[in-house]
A and B are shown apart, each in its own frame.
Chain A
Amino acid sequence: MGSLFSVPIYFVIFRETTEAAVIVSVLLSFLSQVITSDEHMRKRLARQVWAGTALGLLISIAVGAAFIVVWNKYGNNLWAGSEGIWVGVFSLVAVVMITVMGMAMLRTTQIQEKWKVKLSKAMDDENQKGLGNASRRYAMFLLPLITVLREGLEAIVFIGGVTFTTESKSIPLAVVVGLISGFIVGYILYRGGNRMNLHRFFTASTCLLLLLAAGLVARAVASFEAYVWGKLTNAQSDDGGTYDPRYNVWALSCCDPKNNDLGGWQLFNALFGWSNIGSIGSVVCYIAYWLIVIVALVYMKLKHRSVARANALRSVHESSNTTSGEKHSLELEDEKIAPVATPTPAAEATHVQGDAIGQDHPVDLKHI
């Protein structure tokens, strides 16, 4: 099974597609809620959303496919001798990106609110300046396009790291199934997205992603070590399965993920970084990765709590001085919060998160 379907690629495509689908569904439902009178304009803007999303997906896939093809055709030969190093480096880059995005993702459980806020600000600006401004006119096109592109290129970097150790024939099916799964999730959200389910979904998907990332750390370290060992032993290209006995903690004659007959162990390797040969380096780095994640999460949460507490105190203090119709923004020491939504009859509650959603999701449209 592992040889025709790459599990890590599936999950990444799934997640990226889901996020893109969420964006699209939010945009479309926003449009249907906001533009209730002008059916023609609603349809035009909706088409912009679809066009932008589709183009973003297309470009991402095209770039990704081209990258993979070129890479497998030329890159493998160019870097055949030092393949171990390239696998390792790309894997580590992917680890960093996945970890940062995964953790940031946890804070965006109200992703729909974030987007609604962005959009209402955009619509407000449009209303104020009129539809003459070209960039404003095509905001509904550019917004999904750029976001989807960003998600897509993220996925490509990750896949680039994975394809070193993945057979090319396992990629297409995983990509297609990931896309389909993402579309399905997006459609469900559009039809009747429930915030709680979304929250659970993103928590679970982050768990899985960080597991994948931890496994990637182990594989990256193993890859570096294999490179060094290969140089020490003057390994020929067809030699394999040997390891440095000085730094080895386990060497099983069974359970080899490189053995194509046993698909289960390949899956274990893809999901958890399992290998029948365990080295001190890969074990220590795997554990260290989780320790870093745990420390970062604990730190972020405690900090967020103290900030939110201070924020809540201040808002209680200040709310006695404002009317409900006024917009206000509260500056905090190191975080911005979104303005309260304009009083539009939104079906969903428009709670606003107390802080921005990760460093690269700034609230202001101009900074996308």
Chain B
Amino acid sequence: MFTTPIKTLALLGLASAAAHAAVVTYNWNITYVNTNPDGLMDRRVIGINGQFPPPAINVTLNDTLVINVVNQISEPTTLHAHGLFQTGNNQMDGPSMVTQCPIPPGANFTYTIPIKQYGTYWIHGHNKGHYVDGLRAPLIIHNPAETYHYDEEYTLAFSDWYHDEHAVLLDEYLSIFNPTGAEPVPKSALINQMLNTQFLFVPGKVYRLRIINMSALAMFHIHIDGHDMDIIEVDGVDVQRTTVKTFPISAAQRYSILVTAKNTTTNNFLIHGDMDPEMFDTVPDTLQMNITGTIIYDAASPLASEELIDWGEFDDAALLTPVVPMATTPADKQISLTASFQVMDDHINKATFNDITYVAPKVPTLYTAVSMGNLSSDPQVYGTYTHPLVLKHNSWVDIIINNNDAGNHPFHLHGHVFQVVGRGDGVYDGSTPYPYFNTTNPLRRDTVLVPSLTNVAIRFQANNPGVWFFHCHIEWHLQAGLATTIIEAPESMSGVLTVDQTHLEHCTDLGLPFSGNAAGNQGLDLTGQNIGPNLLPGKFTSKGIVALFFTVLSAVAGLATIIWYAQDDELVPSEEGKETK
């Protein structure tokens, strides 16, 4: 199935941008669809308007994107435009119970998003892992004056795929019978949520391939047989053109590459997405770890032979430099977050940042911020388990992310791109100065991979008043609580943000309060807030002391009995047959 080049749309965008910024409207009924994307199993998925896969969204810089959502599935849901800054528009960001109550089944919600940036993004469900069931699609923002010249473009959205619905797998994942926190292993991989994608290449032309990873878990290593790739964009940030043979892409990240078509049509070539086995707890023999799309020069030509590629090391921050430089400023505030996983006192393996596991509040955190007046700068009002981090307007902030876990984690900050300003080994304990990169123009992106047992420092300016979610983008880990809530410039929110009345009604329809603190109360009274599990005590409880006491007692009694028994008080006949002792 051919993917139509969207050159025409880009031209239209150019024309309309020259004239005026357009309002681009999508009417999305979120529906269930029954289908078999990987050819291995029929299952129920979440699609749009009865179709699967959901269509890509295409807009142009300075447009206004309007998505009229009607929720026609049986669970409340939301949509999050991943990577979009939503400046002054936090109430449209989408994460459930962070910036809105989820849209009740049967209800409407209109996302109105002014587009002030360009690049490769995606849009996906942000409640209960709906995106893993298929509610995801590329969101491409075109720039009438692109930095790089290319003739055509294609979008390749890689994703892992499961056969069971996310809710079923989540029950198995967050269970006392999964004490090691092993994530469900996917059953296959897809490109654009289907198999057998093909991309037409005309000899001599230059193509932009927008690579997106829409996975729940998998990391893909991308390479194209017979062709080099020039990276030109990272998470919506144009970078200096850098040639690579292969690169890894973690969940939620995006890269654009330029590929120059060959001058002959003698062969067709495969573009590979190889899933990294390190991300999976076990790799079953039946799992096909690779997905390929075909670059077609001539439908009749044979496929060129596949190349074996050594994945090697890939350090995005060391390799890639933004085209538009932005100097880095020493931070006013340094926040250290240590991510780890362990069995908590609810006996389920959960994820923590600094020993706190994320639990959603009773009131969406944004609604708390805009309804608490002066108290909105007091982190207490947001509750304990939302792990609130309050930032002053326009302050520069460093977050040092310590990955104290055996797995690799891609961390995503809503509402911003951040500068990647340093990397280190182990947990940064603050006893020595942090070893920042020596650069005046560090890489910027919105989703950064922190490899196992290392740390990464990211930096951004708190210039976007709003409540921004910061979390691992492995969906399982988000559900396990690897998240914090950044309350950015609460003192400035009332002048900048407005929450639509219809959004508040959705809370009421779900039986949730829409104002007040995290418990729905006034002031600092947090009684009734949603409580999460805590770390196991690791000490004796009263039950244990009693048990130990009785075991020791039984042993002492037993030993005493042995000694008593062995005392020589039997009557023993003597040689003469008389009684002797």
A→B interface (CB under 8 Å) = 106, 109, 199, 202-203, 206-207, 210-211, 214, 232-236, 239, 242-243, 245-246, 249-254, 272, 278, 280, 283, 286-287, 290-291, 293-294, 297-298, 300-301, 304-305, 308-309, 311-312, 315-316, 318-319, 322, 324, 340, 350-354
Chain B positions within 8 Å of A245 at CB level:
176, 343, 347
Tell whether B536 is near chain A: CB-to-CB under 8 Å: yes
A251–B568 alpha-carbon span in the complex (Å): 43
Chain A residues with CB under 8 Å of B539's CB are: 252-253
Q: A224 CA to B147 CA in the complex, in Å?
A: 66
Given the complex, which residues of A lie within 8 Å of B548, measured CB to CB?
Answer: 250, 278
Question: Min CB distance, A313 to chain B, in Å?
Answer: 9
Question: What chain B residues lie within 8 Å of A203 (beta carbons)?
Answer: 562-563, 566
Beyond A106-B566, A233-B179, A297-B565, 20 extra complex contacts between A and B, CB < 8 Å: A106-B565, A109-B566, A202-B566, A207-B563, A214-B558, A232-B177, A236-B282, A239-B180, A243-B179, A249-B543, A250-B540, A250-B548, A293-B562, A315-B573, A316-B577, A319-B578, A324-B576, A351-B580, A354-B570, A354-B573
Is A254 touching B538 in the complex (CB atoms < 8 A)?
yes
Say yes or no: is B574 at the interface (Cβ < 8 Å to chain A): yes
Tell me whether A214 and B555 are in contact (CB under 8 A).
yes
- Chain A nearest CB, measured from B172 CB (Å): 10
Task: Chain B residues near A311: list those with CB within 8 A.
Answer: 571, 573
- B550 and A350 contacting across the interface, CB-CB below 8 Å: no
Q: Which residues 544-581 in B have Cβ within 8 Å of A in the complex?
A: 544, 547-548, 550-551, 554-555, 557-559, 561-566, 568, 570-580
Chain A residues positioned under 8 Å from B551 (CB to CB): 283, 286-287
- How far in angstroms is the closest Cβ of chain A from B117? 44
Contacts of B566 in A (CB 8 A): 106, 109, 199, 202-203, 206
| B-chain residues with CB within 8 Å of residue A202 when the two chains form the complex | 566
Which of B177, B566, B572, B579 has the most chain A CB within a 10 Å cutoff? B566
Q: Are B570 and A242 closer than 8 Å at their CB atoms? A: no
Q: How far is the CA of A282 from the CA of B316 in the complex (A)?
A: 52
- CB pair A291 B554 closer than 8 Å: yes
Contact present for B541 and A250 (CB under 8 Å): yes
- Return chain A residues, CB-CB under 8 Å to B282: 236
Interface residues of chain A: helix, strand, loop or mixed (majority): helix
Would A352 and B573 count as touching, CB distance under 8 A?
yes
Asked if B281 CB lies within 8 Å of chain A CBs, one says yes
- Cross-chain contact A249 with B544 (CB below 8 angstroms): yes
User: Could you tell me if B557 and A207 are in contact, using CB atoms closer than 8 angstroms?
Assistant: no
User: In the bound complex, how far is the Cα of B564 from the Cα of A165, in angstroms?
Assistant: 33
- Do A233 and B180 touch across chains, with their CB atoms under 8 A apart? yes
Q: Can you list 27 A-B pairs with a CB-CB distance of less than 8 A? A: A106-B562, A202-B566, A203-B562, A203-B566, A210-B558, A210-B562, A211-B559, A233-B178, A234-B182, A236-B180, A242-B180, A242-B343, A245-B343, A250-B543, A250-B544, A250-B547, A250-B548, A287-B550, A294-B558, A297-B561, A297-B564, A308-B570, A312-B571, A315-B573, A319-B577, A352-B572, A353-B570
| 5 nearest A-B pairs in the assembled complex, by CB-CB distance | A253-B538, A250-B544, A319-B577, A245-B347, A290-B558
Complex interface: chain B residues within 8 A of A235 (CB): 180
B250 to chain A, nearest CB (A): 24
Q: Give which listed residue, B176, B347, B577, contacts A315 with CB less than 8 A.
A: B577
Instruction: Please state if B562 and A305 are interface contacts (CB–CB under 8 Å).
Output: no
In Å, the complex CA distance between A350 and B178 comes to 67
Q: How far is the CA of A246 from the CA of B348 in the complex (A)?
A: 12
B residues with a Cβ closer than 8 A to A are 176-180, 182, 281-282, 343, 347, 536, 538-541, 543-544, 547-548, 550-551, 554-555, 557-559, 561-566, 568, 570-580
Inter-chain contacts of A253 with B (CB < 8 A): 536, 538-539
Assess whether B550 is in contact with A322, with CB atoms less than 8 Å apart: no
A residues near B179, Cβ cutoff 8 Å: 233, 242-243
Contact across chains for A354 and B558 when beta carbons are under 8 A apart:
no
The reply to whether A233 and B563 contact each other, CB–CB distance below 8 Å, is: no
Contact check, A109 vs B568: say whether CB atoms are below 8 A apart. Answer: yes
Please give, as numbers and ranges, the residues of chain A lying within 8 Å of B578 by CB-CB distance: 316, 319
Cβ contacts under 8 Å, A246 to chain B = 176
B557 touches A290 (CB 8 A): yes
Using Cβ atoms and an 8 Å threshold, which residues of chain A touch B343?
242, 245
Chain A neighbourhood of B562, CB < 8 A: 106, 203, 206-207, 210, 293, 297
- Return chain B residues, CB-CB under 8 Å to A242: 179-180, 343
Partner among A232, A286, A298 whose Cβ is within 8 Å of the Cβ of B554 = A286
Cβ contacts under 8 Å, B573 to chain A: 311-312, 315, 352, 354
Smallest Cβ-Cβ distance to A349: which chain B residue:
B575
Q: How far is the CA of A298 from the CA of B541 in the complex (A)?
A: 35
CB closest chain-A residue, reference B541: A250
Closest partner residue, chain B, to A211 (CB atom): B555
Write the chain A residue with the least CB distance to B552. Answer: A272
The residues of B that contact A308 with a CB separation of less than 8 Å are 570-572
C-alpha spacing A298/B563, complex, angstroms? 11
Chain B residues with CB below 8 A from A199, complex form: 566, 568
Q: Known contacts A210-B562, A297-B561; is A324 also within 8 Å of B572 by CB? A: no
Q: How far is the CA of A351 from the CA of B581 in the complex (A)?
A: 10
Our pick among B540, B570, B574 for the contact of A305 (Cβ within 8 Å) is B570
Residues of A within 8 A of B568 (CB): 109, 199
From the candidates B347, B544, B557, B577, name the one contacting A322 in the complex (CB within 8 A): B577
Question: Complex formed: what's the CA distance from A315 to B571 in Å?
Answer: 11
Neighbouring A residues of B570 by C-beta, 8 Å = 304-305, 308, 353-354
Q: Are A290 and B555 in contact (CB under 8 A)?
A: yes
**Smallest CB separation, B66 vs chain A (Å):** 47
Chain B proximity of A113: nearest CB distance (Å): 10
Question: CB-CB < 8 A to A316: which residues of B?
Answer: 577-579
Closest residue of chain A to B176 (Cβ to Cβ) is A245
| Of B550, B557, B577, most A-chain CB atoms within 10 Å | B577
Q: Do B572 and A351 touch (CB < 8 A)?
A: yes
B579 — nearest CB in chain A belongs to which residue? A312
Nearest B residue to A279, CB-CB: B547
Residues of the B chain whose Cβ atoms lie less than 8 Å from the Cβ of A106: 562, 565-566
Q: Which residues of B contact A278 (CB under 8 A)?
A: 544, 547-548
Is B558 touching A293 in the complex (CB atoms < 8 A)?
yes
- Of B281, B347, B550, B558, chain A has the most CB atoms within 10 Å of the CB of B558
User: A322 vs B566: C-alpha distance in the bound complex, in angstroms?
Assistant: 32
Q: Say how far B535's CB is from chain A's closest CB, in angstroms.
A: 9
* Closest A residue by C-beta to B536: A251
In the bound complex, CA of A253 to CA of B177 (Å): 20
Residues of A within 8 A of B572 (CB): 308, 351-354
CA distance A249 to B579 in the complex (A): 53
For B564, list chain A residues within 8 Å (CB): 297, 301
A247 to chain B: closest CB distance in Å? 11
Which chain A positions have C-beta within 8 A of B543? 249-250
* With known contacts A286-B551, A316-B577, A316-B579, A309–B559 Cβ distance under 8 A: no
Chain A, residue nearest B538 (CB): A253
- Contact between A351 and B574, CB atoms less than 8 A apart: yes
In the bound complex, how far is the Cα of B568 from the Cα of A351, in angstroms?
A: 13
CA distance A327 to B211 in the complex (A): 103
Given the complex, which residues of B lie within 8 Å of A297, measured CB to CB? 561-562, 564-565
* A312 CA / B570 CA spacing, docked (Å): 10
Q: State A294–B555 Cα separation when bound (angstroms).
A: 10
**What residue of chain B has the Cβ atom nearest to residue A298's Cβ?**
B561
Contacts of B540 in A (CB 8 A): 250, 252
Distance in angstroms from A322 CB to nearest chain B CB is: 7
* B571: A residues at CB distance < 8 A: 305, 308-309, 311-312, 354
In the bound complex, CA of A312 to CA of B573 (Å): 6
Whether the Cβ atoms of A249 and B558 lie closer than 8 Å is no
Q: How far is the CB of A339 from chain B (nearest CB, A)?
A: 12
Report A298 CB to chain B, min CB distance, Å.
Answer: 7
